[in-house]
Amino acid sequence: MSPPGIRKALVVALAVALPLAACSSGDDDDAATKKDGTETSSEAFTKAGVHLGVSKAELVSPHQALGPLDKGTTDAVVGIVQKVLLLTSARPLAEGDAPATGLGELFTADAGARVTGPDRKAFFDEGLPHFGGLKDVGSRVRLTALAGSDDPAPALVVAKYLWDVTNTDRPTDRVTRTGELSLVKQNGAWKIAAYTIVVRRTVEGETTTSTATTETTR
């Protein structure tokens, strides 16, 4: 699918999927909101690592009632989100700047070019003072998938996540990322085709905020 076609499909799918998912329960769509009984991550570690608790994973489909997203798709998409955060945030913070080998395979060509180009400042936590270790203070992700009209399998998955870590050596240092990634299938593999991310970095008493989307960069 061409980039304009992907954008059109994303707009239509999001307009349908997210309101339906919201109406299905009293839960907040925001991945940053904790819910009783959901899995969340809260652990300290000294090496780069990412684990996102899944707060909810749902499938919106014209073929069936709103229900849980299948485990295979859930695991695949969560794995992609975790790998993006590992390569762009956890490793640079804990181990210093390093080549993000394998990052390109997680995105469509157009989106990937933006990540390593005009949106790099927002995506990569590079050039910051070294974090002695990372303490996860509640990172998590929520998935909403949309099935196609002719195929009951998921055609689009929207992943909304929170990645929130502090420096074990200096707890006032903190990096908080919120993001919304839209993934589509290309050649049988899930790829990130569109995104909106916000990152707030507080290091040595100074706070900066960067944002990026597939449409504009601020």
Decide if 34 is inside a domain. no
- The pLDDT, as a whole number, for residue 30 is 53
Decide if 187 is inside a domain. yes
- The pLDDT, as a whole number, for residue 27 is 43
Decide if 114 is inside a domain. yes
* Mean pLDDT for the chain overall: 83
Segments in 24-170 forming alpha helices (H): 71-85, 91-95, 109-115, 120-123
Angle formed at CA 104 by CA 210 and CA 196, multiple of 5 degrees? 30
Q: Point out the least confidently predicted range of 77-91, 97-111, 116-130.
A: 97-111
Decide if 72 is inside a domain. yes
- Give the confidence band of 49 by pLDDT, cuts at 50, 70, 90: confident
In this predicted structure, the answer to whether residue 116 has a pLDDT above a threshold of 80 is yes
- Give the confidence band of 207 by pLDDT, cuts at 50, 70, 90: very high
Overall number of domains in the chain: 1
Domain that holds residue 102: 3-24+39-213
Decide if 32 is inside a domain. no
- Give the confidence band of 99 by pLDDT, cuts at 50, 70, 90: confident
Q: Point out the least confidently predicted range of 86-100, 132-146, 162-176, 199-213.
A: 86-100
DSSP 89-111: IIHHHHH-S---TT-GGGB-HHH
- Give the confidence band of 47 by pLDDT, cuts at 50, 70, 90: low
Query: Which residue's structure tokens are 């504009």?
Result: 216
Decide if 159 is inside a domain. yes
Decide if 33 is inside a domain. no
Decide if 103 is inside a domain. yes
- The pLDDT, as a whole number, for residue 101 is 86
